[in-house]
Amino acid sequence: MSAFGTRRTRSLLAVALLAVVTAGCSVEKTPAGSASASADPARQLTLGFVNGNTIEFHTCLQRSIEARTTSAGVELLTANSAMDPAKELANIDDMISKQVDAIIVQTVNIDSLEGGIARANRANIPIFLTSVASVDQSKILGAVITDVKKVGRELGEWLIKDDAGGKSSVAVVGGAPGAAADLMNNAFKEAVGGQVKLVFDQPAFWQRAKAQEVAENLLQAHPTVKYVFVHNEDMALGVLAAFKAANRSDIKILTNGGSPAGVKAVVSGEFAVTVSNTPRSVGELAIDNVVGLLRGKTGVKKIDTVKDILITRDNADQAPPYCA
């Protein structure tokens, strides 16, 4: 081979090597909140789902996600954080170690979630949220949310209209502080403003038995209460049990969920009103959007909102299916 041929061969090898190195660098710099190599439609996706609890909403959410991933031909790995922020972080770490294409999180606590997002970002694994999106949205792939602020606002507005200037005593039985419960509660309080007397506000941590205990304490401390806003229907059934035991059918329960039991309680008059924003809808939309964003499909929203319906006895037949 001539000297010219040798130099030419070396030049071509150098160019080829530079192309490989450059391609490798471009993958390293892919933003963690965006779709990356997963845009290849021929490759099967593997998603991780980190659930936050085992109550009915979370169970139905996972069933919905499992059904949707099966129909979409997507592999799914699941974990449950059992309302423990430290466990949620460990679950996210585990999904990172398994190199999933994206991690879907139904968070326990928004503040602690930031650590999990940071770790996923460093590993270049997109993270996607369900129910809430109160984070730096540039650091996540996207989210499907239930507009809990809207839920709180709608129920507050319904109460003011129903109370008709009566300045009645109102109580709140909340979920777990630190995530959706805070957003919902603050919106409710803003909606009712000074038009009622807010006399009681205690969390029951999404537990029916705890809610029943809290309601018993409420009746002891504020026997003249007229309305109780309960953050979900499972807790509302615990509150209802306390009221029945005390022969109190005069207190109106406002709640959130749209489950069969909740809608039935509205029809029977045991609940005054509920808001339907079902976990089935959240789960289905979450998988559709995660896959769409990873595949680079057009028209997929980064932040999408599940529609809700204010359910009273008059429109209870319009409540959508709650579970998969």
Give the angle 226-175-198 at the CA atoms, nearest 5°. 30
Residue with tokens 């996972």, as numbered in its chain: 62
Query: pLDDT tens digits for the chain (324 residues)?
Result: 544 444 444 444 444 434 433 333 333 333 445 554 455 666 899 999 999 999 899 999 999 999 999 999 999 999 999 999 999 999 999 999 999 999 999 999 888 899 999 999 999 999 999 988 888 999 999 999 989 999 999 999 999 999 999 999 999 999 988 778 999 999 999 999 999 999 999 999 999 999 999 999 999 999 999 999 999 999 999 999 999 999 999 999 999 999 999 999 999 999 999 999 999 999 999 999 999 999 999 999 999 999 999 999 999 999 999 997
Per CATH, the number for 37-146+279-306 is: 3.40.50.2300
Residue 28: per-residue pLDDT: 33
Residue 261: per-residue pLDDT: 96
Residue 220: per-residue pLDDT: 98
CA pair distance 235, 233, nearest whole angstrom = 5
The identity of residue 18, as a single letter, is: L
CA pair distance 16, 308, nearest whole angstrom = 55
Enumerate the β-bridge partners of residue 309: 276
Q: Which helix (H) or strand (E) holds 169?
A: strand 169-174
Nearest to 58 by CA among 81, 77, 34, 88: 81
Residue 40: per-residue pLDDT: 67
CA pair distance 269, 42, nearest whole angstrom = 53
Give the angle 87-92-94 at the CA atoms, nearest 5°. 95
CA pair distance 245, 241, nearest whole angstrom = 6
Q: Quickly name the fold that domain 148-276 has.
A: Rossmann fold (3.40.50)
Domain boundaries, the chain: 37-146+279-306, 148-276
CB 50 within 8 A of CB 98: no
Rounded to whole angstroms, what are the CA distances from 169 to 85, 193, 195, 238?
35, 13, 10, 20
* Domains 37-146+279-306 and 148-276 agree in fold: yes
pTM value is 0.77
DSSP 8-state class, residue 101: S
DSSP 8-state class, residue 111: H
CA 131 to chain centre: 2
Residue with tokens 């039991």, as numbered in its chain: 261
